[in-house]
């Protein structure tokens, strides 16, 4: 998949995360998948997206412990 298409899909996921916070876990999984596709293109992932991915991963790991 072209880099620009992946970037566009990530932007859409971020918008959905803002508008539908109840689906946050599902959207995180989709974001993680798209970031992996991005990584596969050889392009560096922007730092803010990496930080978001890590923060969401930590949040869900804490929820699983509870």
Q: What is the pLDDT of residue 52?
A: 87
Q: What is the pLDDT of residue 40?
A: 93
Show me where the domains of the chain are located. 3-65
Q: What is the pLDDT of residues 4-62, one digit of tens each?
A: 888 888 888 888 877 776 777 888 888 899 899 989 999 899 898 898 889 889 988 88
Q: Give burial (CB, 10 Å; 0-12/13-18/19+) of 38.
A: buried
Q: How far apart are the first and last CA of the chain?
A: 38
Q: Residue 1: CB partners within 8 Å, gap ≥ 6?
A: 37
**What is this structure's pTM?**
0.72
Kindly tell me if the per-residue pLDDT of 1 is higher than 60: no
């Amino acid at each position: 998949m072209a880099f620009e298409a992946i970037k566009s899909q990530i932007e859409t996921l971020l918008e959905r995360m803002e508008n539908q916070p109840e689906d946050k876990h599902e959207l995180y999984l989709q974001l993680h998948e798209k970031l992996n596709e991005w990584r596969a293109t050889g392009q560096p992932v922007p730092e803010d997206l990496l930080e978001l991915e890590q923060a969401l991963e930590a949040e869900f790991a804490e929820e699983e412990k509870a």
